[in-house]
Amino acid sequence: MNLTRYQRPDLGWAGFGRPSSLRDELDRLFEPPWADLARTSQLLSGWIPALDVHEDKDNFVVQAELPGMKREEIDVTLHDGVLSISGERKAEKKYEEAEVCRTERFFGKFQRTVTLSAPVAADKVKAQYKDGVLIITLPNTEAAKPKQIDENVN
């Protein structure tokens, strides 16, 4: 089996694809020569679920894409301001009498960590898992919430 690096399909219509930004070009220019090797080894060692993290005035909210997993296969911990999401997605049955034409899904162990920039109320953290998306809501402590300061003008 040959391992070929994914390449974005060429649509053949100049100007209709995503235009390359100056930032993309600079990133490519200063990328170390071993970056491709690092990406490939990371892909071969397991999988990394996608995360979104946002913060409003009351909460941090972390969303993780974990399709095909059951709740009991996912571990969530919070320790010293670091949120950790880990687990293992098990491979489905092997196709012993069939030739595999393409395999693009990743299986195996994973771990994602997020260092929070402000203290959270650990006893009020809530997590819900629905349709392959884990949503963790981490309320800020009162000390971490922004305060309105009234000005006294004389």
CA distances from 69 to 8, 65, 111, 128, 137 (A): 28, 10, 14, 13, 20
Beta partners for residue 52, in sequence order = 63
Residue 150 falls inside a structural domain: no
Give the predicted TM-score (pTM) of the model. Answer: 0.63
The tens digit of pLDDT for each residue in 21-65 reads: 676 677 677 776 666 655 555 445 568 899 999 999 899 999 999
Kindly report the average pLDDT of the chain as a whole number: 78
Grouping H, G, I as helix, E, B as strand and the rest as coil, residue 83 is: strand
Cα 97-103-108 angle, rounded to 5 deg: 100
Q: How far is CA 116 from CA 53, 69, 144, in A?
A: 10, 25, 11
Q: In the chain, how many domains are there?
A: 1
pLDDT at 46: 66
- Domain of residue 131, residue span: 22-144
Answer yes or no: is 115 within a domain.
yes
CATH code of the domain covering residue 117 = 2.60.40.790
Q: Please check whether residue 144 is in contact with residue 119, taking contact to mean a CB–CB distance below 8 angstroms.
A: yes
Any domain includes 154: no
pLDDT at res. 107: 84
Report the alpha-carbon distance of residue 100 to residue 141 in Å, rounded. 51
pLDDT at 13: 47
Residue 6 maps to a domain: no
What does the pLDDT profile of the chain (154 residues) look like in tens digits? 445 555 555 554 444 445 566 766 776 777 766 666 555 554 455 688 999 999 998 999 999 999 989 999 999 999 989 999 999 988 877 777 888 788 788 888 999 999 998 899 999 999 999 999 999 999 998 765 555 666 776 6
- Please give the backbone phi and psi of residue 83, each rounded to the nearest 5 degrees, phi first: -90, 130
In a domain, 149, yes or no: no
